[in-house]
Structure 1
Amino acid sequence: MKSFFTRLAFTIFCGALLVSCSSPQVSQYAAEKPALDLSEYFSGTIDAYGIFTDRNGEVKKRFTVLIKASWTVVEGKKVGTLDERFEYSDGTKQTRIWTLTEQSPGNYIGRADDVVGDAQGQLAGNALNWTYTLALPVDGTIYNVQFNDWMYLITPKVMLNKAKMSKFGIDLGEVTLSFYKR
């Protein structure tokens, strides 16, 4: 009988551990307002301000982003182009051009030159979750880093973004951004 209770306690502990480690699902934000319409928010000019923090929370980089965004309809699907111009606090500059395609309501695929494969996006309510692998240059070497990227529309003009970076399941740091739609 003692063995039964030991196994039961172990099973309950493992179940609780799995639940505590689970990630939020975008569907849990479905009722949140204001509702995010990706093609509406990312249309025109958007300014973004961000930081990269390492796994200890130390700010390693600060940056600004100027985004020029537009949408068209191709073969019945909404297709967006986000032209992102980064400027880092050390004076370096970078450009990333995203092509976003709505696959079905709330489901998107994103592509960019430094994204390995397709970024997968899910939207519900005021939240958007992107998961993708970015080919990140560091000191002359390219590392494929996984991003779990969450965006939350706060007002029709303001969106906050928090992205966790990892490699082989090991936390590398976070990117935090605030977007302001002009």
Structure 2
Amino acid sequence: MDTTLYILLGAVLLLGGALVAGRLVGFRAQRPADYAGQGPQFDLREHLTGPILCEGVIYGPLGRVSSRFVADMEASWDGDTGTMTEHFRYDSGATQTRQWQLTLTDGGGIKATAADVEGVGEGWVSGPTVLLRYRIRLPENAGGHVLDTTDWMYLCDNGTVINRSQFRKFGIKVAELVATMRRKD
């Protein structure tokens, strides 16, 4: 074999190995069961209710901060059905509003819908964590792409929620969000 073929074969093996490793370790390898039995117990009706302040950053595909934001949220619950309205203000001056409809199901399940979510998002509560997966449609001024989203929320002992989200297109990570959420006093 000539050198070019060896280099090409090595690159394919390296890329394949990276894709497999990404599913076995790190963010994408987490499962709700990994957090079962740990505390404090995340109860959306308790920890995501009332006025909430959210502050965060969005990282682009190369790992650099592409945007910063502050969001005022308001959440209310009627039994196992909740509504969360989010008003985002980005460092660019842009604003965005999203209203989630949330339903808690048996066994710690969550169903979630919003106007810019394709279909129904699904999630699970386990110990101090919430996992939510959904497909979000970006605004037209951001390309209108539909991204596969995985949100992990981690409840801290003081009631603050740390949110880490990854956005993928064709399985490739194109953005990541890290934010804090805490009740306004």
Q: Percent identity?
A: 31
Do the aligned residues in 2 keep the contact of 1:34 with 1:156 (CA within 8 Å)?
no
Q: 1:1-182 alignment to 2 at 5 Å?
A: 21-22=23-24, 23-73=29-79, 78-137=80-139, 139=141, 141-182=143-184
**C-alpha displacement of 1:141:** 3.1
Do the aligned residues in 2 keep the contact of 1:55 with 1:171 (CA within 8 Å)?
yes
Do the aligned residues in 2 keep the contact of 1:41 with 1:156 (CA within 8 Å)?
no
**C-alpha displacement of 1:103:** 1.6
| In 1, Cα distance between equivalents of 2:62 and 2:117 | 26
Number of residue pairs matched?
A: 164
| In 2, Cα distance between equivalents of 1:150 and 1:173 | 14
- Aligned AA (1:80): G
Distance 1:138 1:155, change over 3 A: farther
| Correspondence for 1:10 | none
| In 1, Cα distance between equivalents of 2:63 and 2:124 | 27
| In 2, Cα distance between equivalents of 1:133 and 1:140 | 15
- Aligned AA (2:23): C
| In 2, Cα distance between equivalents of 1:158 and 1:105 | 24
Greater helix content: 2
Distance 1:143 1:157, change over 3 A: same
- Aligned AA (2:151): D
| Correspondence for 2:8 | none
**C-alpha displacement of 1:138:** 5.2
**C-alpha displacement of 1:19:** 7.1
Instruction: Tell me the secondary structure at the aligned position of residue 21 of structure 1.
Output: helix
Structure 1 length-normalised TM = 0.84
> C-alpha root-mean-square deviation of aligned residues, in Å?
1.9
